[in-house]
Amino acid sequence: MTGRIVLHLDRMMVERKMSLNELAEKVGISNVNLSKIKNNRVTAVRFETLAAICDALQCGAGDILEYVPDE
């Protein structure tokens, strides 16, 4: 079995002092979909969306994504 990817979008949003509504508007996706990403309730994220999130938060994908191996 493989590990999993954990999203740390919530942490980055706090560091950048950006609200869910503000980020959703900048990225161009709904609050509901961004909330699902923020709370790790998705199985996939489009690269286009990830790039827009990184642009809005001025960070890299590695600041948001973490690979966690199975125990």
Buried b / exposed e over 21-57, threshold 16 CB at 10 Å, is eebbeebebeeeebeebbeeeeeebeeebbebbbebb
Q: Return the CATH number of the domain spanning residue range 4-65.
A: 1.10.260.40
Domain boundaries, the chain: 4-65
pLDDT digits (tens, 9 = 90+) for 6-19: 999 999 999 999 99
The fraction of the chain above a pLDDT of 90, given in percent, is 94
Predicted TM-score (pTM) above 0.85: yes
